[in-house]
C-alpha cells in the first residue's frame, strides 16, 4: 500500500509540475515575421497600417501560443529584423560571450535569444566594459554592456546637440 501511494504521488507531481512548451502570450507577427512580444515596443506607431487579432490558440515551432497578433506596416519592405547576437557581431568588436544587452538604457531581461530589433531603428551602439566600473576592476567577473540607442526623438535630439566648452567668452575681446 505504501509503495502504491508513493508511486501515485510521484506520478502526479511529475505530470502536474512537468515542463511543457506553453506560453501565456500571443504570437506576434510583423509583416508575417514572427517576433517576440517585446519587439512591439520599438515599432513606430505611425508606421502601422492595420492590426488583426486571432483569438484561436496556435502551435508554431512546437510552442503553443494563446492567439496571434498580426501587424501590417505601411511599408512592409522597410523592416529588417536582426537578433542581438547579429547586432553584437555587426556593430561591435566583442568576442566574449559575457554580454549584457540594453535598449535605450533599459536592460533586456527576457527573450534574449529570440529578441529582434529593426536594423533601421538602430541609431548607435555603445559598448562599456566591466572594468569601467570601479567595483568590478579588481573582480574576476568580466563582461561587456551593449547599449543600443534607437532612433527616438530624445536620442536624435541628443545626437544633434553641439556642446561648446571653454574658459573664454566667444566673440568678446
Least confident of 30-44, 72-86, 159-173: 159-173
Query: How high does pLDDT run on average in the chain?
Result: 79
Q: What is the mean pLDDT of residues 80-104?
A: 86
Q: Can you say whether the dihedral through the CA atoms of 53, 54, 59, 64 is positive or negative?
A: positive
Residue with cell 527616438: 152
C-alpha cell at 124: 548607435
Identify the three-state secondary structure at position 102.
strand
pLDDT given for residue 18 in this prediction? 53
pLDDT given for residue 17 in this prediction? 56
pLDDT given for residue 62 in this prediction? 85
C-alpha cell at 173: 575681446
28 vs 132: CA distance, rounded Å? 38
Q: What is the mean pLDDT of residues 152-167?
A: 74
**φ, ψ for residue 25 (rounded to 5)?**
-110, 160
pLDDT given for residue 173 in this prediction? 47
Domain ranges of the chain: 20-79, 80-161
Contact between residue 38 and residue 84 where contact means Cβ atoms under 8 Å apart: no
58 vs 25: CA distance, rounded Å? 11
pLDDT greater than 80 at residue 19: no
pLDDT greater than 60 at residue 170: no
Amino acid at each position: 500500500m505504501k509503495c502504491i501511494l508513493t508511486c501515485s504521488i510521484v506520478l502526479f507531481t511529475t505530470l502536474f509540475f512537468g515542463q511543457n512548451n506553453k506560453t501565456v502570450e500571443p504570437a506576434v507577427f510583423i509583416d508575417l515575421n514572427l517576433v517576440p512580444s517585446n519587439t512591439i515596443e520599438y515599432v513606430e506607431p505611425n508606421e502601422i497600417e492595420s492590426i488583426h487579432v486571432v483569438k484561436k490558440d496556435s502551435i508554431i515551432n512546437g510552442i503553443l501560443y494563446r492567439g496571434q497578433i498580426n501587424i501590417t506596416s505601411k511599408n512592409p519592405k522597410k523592416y529588417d529584423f536582426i537578433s542581438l547576437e547579429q547586432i553584437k557581431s555587426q556593430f561591435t568588436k566583442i568576442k566574449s560571450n559575457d554580454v549584457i544587452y540594453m535598449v535605450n538604457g533599459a536592460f533586456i531581461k527576457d527573450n534574449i535569444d529570440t529578441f529582434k530589433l529593426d536594423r533601421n531603428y538602430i541609431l548607435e551602439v555603445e559598448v562599456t566594459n566591466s572594468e569601467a566600473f570601479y567595483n568590478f576592476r579588481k573582480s574576476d567577473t568580466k563582461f561587456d554592456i551593449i547599449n543600443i540607442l534607437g532612433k527616438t526623438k530624445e536620442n536624435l535630439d541628443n545626437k544633434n546637440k553641439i556642446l561648446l566648452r571653454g574658459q573664454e567668452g566667444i566673440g568678446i575681446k
